[in-house]
Amino acid sequence: MNNAPKQGMVLIVIWAVLAVAVTVLAGAKSSQSPDATPLDLGICDQLLSKTTGEPVFGAFQTDSASPVKVPITDANWARQLKIREVRKLVNSVNLGITKGVFKTSQKRFEDCDGGYEIYRSITVDANGVVRRYEMQGGSEDHLLTFQHYYDESGRISFVYIIGGAYNGTHILHRIYFDESGKRIFEAHKDVTGPGYPGFSDYPDDELSISNPAKDFAAASQCPEIKSKEKCHLQRSDSLL
């Protein structure tokens, strides 16, 4: 006996029952008050987030979580937003110096036994906030220049280090900081030469992080040269 017609009728009945059920549910949904809890369309994203351990940002996202942070690496550092913001700040400070908007004071020191520093320079804006502080020093076999940059509130943002040694070594070192003063990226480049010991590690206590005005005013081991002649060091505008 052929059961095909009976099976077809059963399927039609089931489909009709489901259609009625959907209609009833839709009517009940529309009769709810405005304060009723809406259907959470982001449930798929929530489940996927629990599975992967990371927030998902797709068509069904309903929360306001921040995008996943991408670590700053040697391959992508130049494209990172925080790095670009620091570079913009540095260029604006250098432009302010070039245009004479900021005020710069300098000190030079004699070469003496036990001395290290030979030059200091501090730049402040119209509000008296230090925006750049430079220090140059070394010994008979090497020379280092430290250029510190600060934001409008005086917080450290960037340090640019230029080094040279008797054996022909020339290095460039960059240190980027976030708003809290934490290092977020460092880039070291050996430009020429075989290298020189100590030209790669620069701890915070060797930098002018928190109080450049105090560092500029501090006494030096060697006598200051009282001269109005200005000393011009290598700029960092195009070397970020």
| Residue 213 CB partners (closer than 8 Å, separation 6+) | 122, 130
Tens of pLDDT, residues 175-194: 999 999 999 999 999 999 99
213 plus 117 within the same structural domain: yes
Kindly state whether residues 95 and 45 are assigned to the same domain.
no
Closest listed residue to residue 93, CA positions, set 85, 82, 77, 181: 85
Distance CA 69, CA 142 (A): 39
Q: Which residue blocks in 143-224 are alpha helix, DSSP H?
A: 212-217
Are both 159 and 95 inside the same structural domain? yes
pLDDT tens digits for range 11-20: 444 445 444 4
* Same domain as 53, residue 107: no
Given a cut of 80, whether residue 65 has pLDDT beyond it is no
The two structure tokens encoding residue 31? 């009769």
* Least confident segment among 62-66, 94-98, 180-184, 205-209: 62-66
The rounded distance, in Å, linking the Cα atoms of 82 and 210 is 20
**Burial annotation 100-122 (CB, 10 A radius, 16+ → b, else e):** eebeeebbbbeeeeeeebbbbbb
Do 212 and 121 belong together in one domain? yes
Within a domain: 153? yes
> How far is it, in rounded angstroms, from Cα 184 to Cα 217?
29
Owning domain of residue 123: 77-225
Domain count, the chain: 2
Judge if 55 and 99 occupy the same domain: no
Q: Which candidate, 114, 210, 81, places its Cα nearest to that of 154?
A: 210
User: pTM to 2 decimals?
Assistant: 0.67
